[in-house]
Amino acid sequence: MTPFHTQRQGDTERWTLNDPATRNALSDAMVLGLFEATLRAQQDDSLRIIVLTGAPGAFTAGGSLGNFASAIGQPLKPGEDDPLIAMNRGFGDVLHALCALPQLLVCAVDGAAMGGGFGLVCCADHVIATERSVFGTPEVTLGLPPAQIAPFVWMRLGEAKARQCLLQGLSFKAEAAMQLGLVDEVADDGELEQGLQDRLARLRRAAPGAVASTKRLLQRLRGDVPDLREEAARAFAAALRSPEASAGLSAFAKKQPAPWAGNVPPRSTAARVAAPQGGESGLGRPGAGVDS
């Protein structure tokens, strides 16, 4: 079983993040497979629509902490660049490549889309999710910056909502994510495939050449956004090796509060009004919810 699977049907390809045992955590192999698929798709004029989804059980739990632990365990040689920098930048390359696709990109989410998965969703032209899906950016609660995904969350949601998500480490159910502007439509649990097929039929009304041209124009608008891949990768690597992240990740693995969290009081009525509906809903199993 490969960690990234592609399937072609007519003018549409389905790209599946495929590692159910880790809730499709973004391993090096999965990120590489996704990146290579984007490069191939950019040259395929016969391809009109790409559906990005996850193997049953989740979209993706986020970056694979096993990858990071392996890199951290290798001592750095004097003058050598931290391998964590290249790992994190590679995920930034994927996000940029997804946004540059000339085809329509649809994310079909059933389950958790955390951390890096939240960033992937922000690159889509259309997002359909089941009612049980959960979207979150928990990085800061682990002592890490949401490094590579931050510009894409900002572009998708705008500055105010991006600040709310990224600086508080919030998570949202699908209906709240739709109100936030992250999700475009919500399907009943068990009805994702039917909802997806209905949406694909509507999307085919758009001419592929016109879609590609329009996306190029939109990409030009994004050109005003600074390319933060290198800076973000270095910030993430430095944070991951810091005592703060070590303490945060250890607490998360033990299902304990991070040392800086203190006692979190119940939300007041005013807080519930101010926060996006759906509230915080937990992070799932260890290894989930960070940039890749």
Confidence of residue 76 (pLDDT cuts 50, 70, 90): confident
Phi then psi dihedrals of residue 153, to 5 deg: -65, -40
Q: Which positions ≥6 away from 194 have C-beta within 8 Å?
A: 187
**Domain residue ranges of the chain, discontinuous segments joined by +:** 4-274
Q: Using an 8 Å Cβ cutoff, are 137 and 288 in contact?
A: no
Q: Using an 8 Å Cβ cutoff, are 143 and 242 in contact?
A: yes
pLDDT at residue number 292: 62
Strands 126-130 and 104-109: parallel
pLDDT tens profile 11-50: 999 999 999 999 999 999 999 999 999 999 999 999 999 9
HSE-CB of 133 using CA atoms within 13 angstroms? 36
> What fold is seen in the domain 4-274?
2-enoyl-CoA Hydratase; Chain A, domain 1 (3.90.226)
Structure-block tokens of residue 69: 């632990």
Question: Residue 154: which of 107, 122, 113 has the closest Cα?
Answer: 122
Burial tier of 198 (Cβ tally within 10 Å: 0-12, 13-18, 19+): middle
Residue 280 has pLDDT above 70, yes or no: no
Q: Using an 8 Å Cβ cutoff, are 69 and 121 in contact?
A: no
Q: Tell me the C-alpha distance between 50 and 46, whole Å.
A: 12
pTM for this one?
Answer: 0.90
pLDDT at residue number 127: 98
More confident residue, 63 or 8: 8
| 142-146, 170-174, 225-229: range with lowest mean pLDDT | 225-229
pLDDT tens profile 123-136: 999 999 999 999 99
pLDDT at residue number 71: 75
Q: Tell me the C-alpha distance between 12 and 78, whole Å.
A: 48
